[in-house]
Structure 1
Amino acid sequence: MGPVDHVVTSGTFSLDGGTWDVDNNVWLVGDENEVIVVDAAHDLEKIATAIGGRRVVAIVCTHAHDDHVNQAPALSDRFDAPVYVHPAEAPLWAMAHPDRKPDHDLCDGDVLTAGGIELHAITTPGHSPGSTCLHVPELSTVFTGDTLFQGGPGATGRSFSSFDTIIDSIRHRLLTLPGDTTVRTGHGDSTSIGTELPHLEEWIVRGH
């Protein structure tokens, strides 16, 4: 078990009356004793197996689209761990879990620690109102959820999203990170800040 473990889970994403098959990246950050889970998606048992006997410090949701949070309450119950979500995600969270609220707000600048590794919350709205990335300086890594992917920004064509806002977030909050920062995404392959930075203007032209 390294400082970052990775599980790919499969399920569906539903919003605005449509449902799509998706594979999600679930990230575990910590050491052999304790861990933070980033985005509890689809497969409770697969995530639980990756956690093993470790203490779960927190379940952090980069945003509250159902494919990223559908196992958060169940994982919380099993490991007695609090769920963190940005408060602006409340309407999306309520669609997925109408009978349960998150345990804690995840606000810009918050720092969560597992196994001595600090995860710094960076609020990056656009894909959704409270989308949040998690920067881990000592690992030169940022977990971007669905805000930044290999090849461009996350989707903004559905409810509660804004293209202009996501571009602002990426430009001012993510592309200012060191170029060698690894970008670990909510879906698909990882990339780096330095790889994506030169394409910002292309995305803006393409997006409009």
Structure 2
Amino acid sequence: MAARVEHLVTTGTFSLDGGTWDVDNNVWIVGDDAEAIVIDAAHDADAILAALGGRALRAVVCTHAHDDHVNAAPALADATGAPILLHRDDLPLWKLTHPGRHPDGELADGQELTIAGTGLTVLHTPGHAPGAVSLYASELGTVFTGDTLFAGGPGATGRSFSHFPTIIDSIRDRLLTLPPETVVRTGHGDTTTIGAEAPQLDEWIKRGH
């Protein structure tokens, strides 16, 4: 059976630089009836386990290590035996949330993850966070962008570990080069497409945020 994409929204908080905000997060499950991966284990491990429905979890993949994207990762990994995968450049952020726990494996640019016979290519897309990655599944016509690219613009870069020119470079060079029909599945909010976002690049640069 071909891999499919399932969507779960979980609710909690995001904390950084002394502030805390209420957030809704997109959790993405990619797999078939037998096995799956979870992209961004946010807030509620029990809800994610319920959505998995007993399927073998092969990996907990972190697009970046802001606490709202990784706060349920250890509990989900412990419940399933799945490894937590994170880009090494986001270890400083990870340690803010899980100081006594290390990820089980690293994500690297160009790495290929395979689930249910479907490949996902890791694209290092820093800017929102140093180790932010996107996951491109060409066979599914989709890219999982975490908080790098949203419907309507780039992710926030006003807090520690982030950098606006870097996120613009990542989006322009790594994401907007994908086919325009590629569905963009984001860390928060609605999906979009590469074709819908590409014409706005110059406007984002002018806004500078």
TM-score bucket of the superposed structures, by smaller chain: over 0.9
Q: Output the CA distance in 2 between the equivalents of 1:6 and 1:47.
A: 10
Identity of aligned residues (%): 65
Matched, 1:80 2:66: no
* Aligned partner letter, 2:195: G
How many equivalent pairs are there?
208
Query: 2:153: which partner in 1?
Result: 152
**Deviation digits for residues 124-176 of structure 1 (CA, Å, limit 9, x no counterpart):** 00000010000000010000000000000000000000000000000000000
Q: Output the CA distance in 2 between the equivalents of 1:8 and 1:30.
A: 17
Query: 1:190: which partner in 2?
Result: 191
Matches within 5 A, 1:1-208: 3-207=4-208
TM-score by length of 2: 0.98
Q: Output the CA distance in 2 between the equivalents of 1:2 and 1:90.
A: 30
Residues 38, 61 of structure 2: 8 Å contact kept: yes
Shift of 1:114: 1.1
Q: Output the CA distance in 2 between the equivalents of 1:186 and 1:168.
A: 19
| Structure 1: segments with no counterpart, 5+ residues | none
Shift of 1:2: 6.6
Superposed structure 1 runs of 4+ greater than 3 Å apart: none
| Greater Cα offset, 112-121 or 161-170 | 112-121
Shift of 1:197: 0.2
Residues 3, 117 of structure 2: 8 Å contact kept: no
TM-score by length of 1: 0.98
